[in-house]
A = this chain, B = another copy of it.
Amino acid sequence: METIDAVTALAALAQDNRLDVFRLLVQAGPDGLPAGSVAHELGLAPNTLTFHFDRLRQAGLVTVRRDGRSMIYAARFEVMTDLLGFLTDNCCGGKPELCAPTVCKPATKTKPKTRETAP
């Protein structure tokens, strides 16, 4: 992934409504969601949503297909993981073992409890 593509993708995600939209699509999975569902779920005006979908699509983060009157948007997961990989690329000089234990670990799916206790 090139820097310019990463910047475009990050900029697409760096807006509260678009971030909500994208995360909704990530949670929806590969089948995606119709634009109307997203609009209803997030309380966005349809034209505003089109604007945001365009940004996400130009950034390569989502795809669209038509299904009858509906447009179905879906996250492009491989682009997302490419982006995450780009951020952590060559972490700690490519020798993560030299860093503190958890420093260069890829995203850990944390399921935080009410409080963390030191081991």
A residues adjacent to B (C-beta < 8 A): 3-4, 6-7, 10-11, 13-16, 19-20, 22-23, 26-30, 77-78, 80-82, 84-94, 98-100, 102-110
Contacts and interface: CB of A to CB of B under 8 A. Distances in A.
6 contacts: A4-B16, A6-B19, A7-B19, A84-B106, A85-B107, A106-B106
Contacts of A84: 84, 87-88, 106-107
A102 B80 CA distance: 12
Contacts of A106: 81, 84, 106-109
Secondary structure at the A interface, as helix, strand, loop or mixed, is helix
Given A19-B3, A106-B107, A87 B80 contact: yes
